[in-house]
Copies of this chain bind each other. A is one copy, B any other.
């Protein structure tokens, strides 16, 4: 019944208007794994790191039910490194440095015991790497979700579309939905993208929430307005992790349950941005998730019948 998570495990240097964090733990795989571990504890992480990555970080994840058979460690190489600076509005950022290091020559090789899983989260990675994981599975998972970003649309659109064709759920942001579809209206963009393969499209709008598109309808989950956002890094990955962790826990892919998963993804993402790196994600517990879920439900709560 495992949840396989593909995603980078890396170091990040992050500058925001509220401070700077130097070479902290980051990467889509890290955020997805931490976020999903709050809902599910049979997670297999697929990624690659160098000899410089701290063992205690891996141990902390293992203690949460994240197994490392699929994690390749290259002792003599360095882990992926990204540095970025957020603008004042936190909605946009500049990349200051990207050192691929171990990612330069990475093709995942899945050990036999993780080739059959029920849930697969293809975190943001080169489309070729995402495809390679899909291709090595000996059984089609019950649910396959993928995240990606505009970078891959710019340089590898055909490869990307080949992966999108094979997934059930695609999560991208609003600008990426426009780029991928060539449509400005998100309704039209969703129509085009749902023709490309996925049965579900989630459009992430950052501080403006997220939209789920499916043939049964649309659903909107707001972002919780917060007193302070310290660091948006990993918010989308945390969202995907909470979403998939909840779906793996409940094993229910009805539209109604997908909507609940969208709320839990938003809950986890709302915590993620409140500290630098994945620190807050590590610190929260079941009580914290319950409390914030109630805040979301209150924010969305409406009791009305249509005018007679």
Tell me the bound Cα distance from A221 to B304 in angstroms.
13
Output the residue of A184, A293, A294, A302 with the most chain B CB within 10 A.
A302
Provide the residues of chain B in CB contact with A304, threshold 8 Å: 259-260, 263, 293, 297
Q: Could you name 28 residue pairs across A and B whose Cβ atoms are closer than 8 Å? A: A88-B184, A89-B184, A185-B225, A185-B227, A185-B229, A205-B208, A208-B208, A208-B209, A209-B209, A209-B222, A211-B225, A217-B299, A218-B298, A218-B299, A219-B299, A220-B222, A220-B225, A220-B300, A260-B304, A263-B302, A286-B307, A289-B307, A290-B306, A290-B307, A293-B306, A293-B307, A300-B300, A300-B302
Contact present for B306 and A220 (CB under 8 Å) = no
Tell me if A303 is interfacial: C-beta within 8 Å of chain B: yes
Tell me if A153 is interfacial: C-beta within 8 Å of chain B: no
Contact present for B211 and A301 (CB under 8 Å) = no
Tell me if A228 is interfacial: C-beta within 8 Å of chain B: yes
Q: How many residues of A contact B (CB 8 A)?
A: 41
Tell me if A61 is interfacial: C-beta within 8 Å of chain B: no
Q: With A88-B184, A297-B302 given, can you name 16 additional A-B contacts, CB distance below 8 Å?
A: A89-B184, A185-B226, A186-B225, A187-B225, A188-B227, A208-B209, A220-B222, A220-B299, A222-B222, A259-B304, A260-B302, A260-B304, A286-B307, A290-B307, A293-B306, A297-B306
The proximity string for A residues 68-102 relative to B, scoring 1 for CB distances below 8 Å and 0 otherwise, is 00000000000000000000110000000000000
A188 to chain B, nearest CB (A): 6
Tell me if A57 is interfacial: C-beta within 8 Å of chain B: no
Output the residue of A88, A225, A298 with the most chain B CB within 10 A.
A225
Tell me if A256 is interfacial: C-beta within 8 Å of chain B: yes
